[in-house]
A = this chain, B = another copy of it.
Amino acid sequence: MYVILVYDLEAERTYKALKLGRRYLTHVQNSVLEGEISEGDLQKLRGELEELLKPGESAILYELSSDTLVNRSVYGEDPTKDQRFL
């Protein structure tokens, strides 16, 4: 399946969510990752997210059965074209 992950952690802890997310997904914007993921990896990601988050922090996981169900448009500069995102 295809998932979109958006997270909101304390500023000095955001790198932890990014590091976790990158093990499974592609970083597409500041606090957003997306990509194809297996059911097994999704279960792992869910567990690791729950473990990572502290009070006041959150993450939203949108699951789609396929990325063909979503039409994706980027406005402004596409951050994935920025070297920092490679």
Contacts and interface: CB of A to CB of B under 8 A. Distances in A.
Given A29-B8, A46-B75, A76-B58, A63 B70 contact: yes
Interface in A27-86: 28-32, 46, 49-50, 53-65, 69-79
Contacts of A62: 4, 62, 70-72
B65 A61 contact: no
Contact of A75 (B58, B69, B72, B77): B58
In order of increasing CB-CB distance, the 10 nearest A-B pairs are A53-B76, A58-B76, A8-B30, A63-B71, A59-B75, A49-B75, A61-B73, A57-B76, A69-B69, A6-B32
Given A28-B60, A32-B60, 8 more contacts: A29-B58, A31-B31, A46-B73, A50-B75, A50-B76, A59-B74, A60-B75, A64-B70
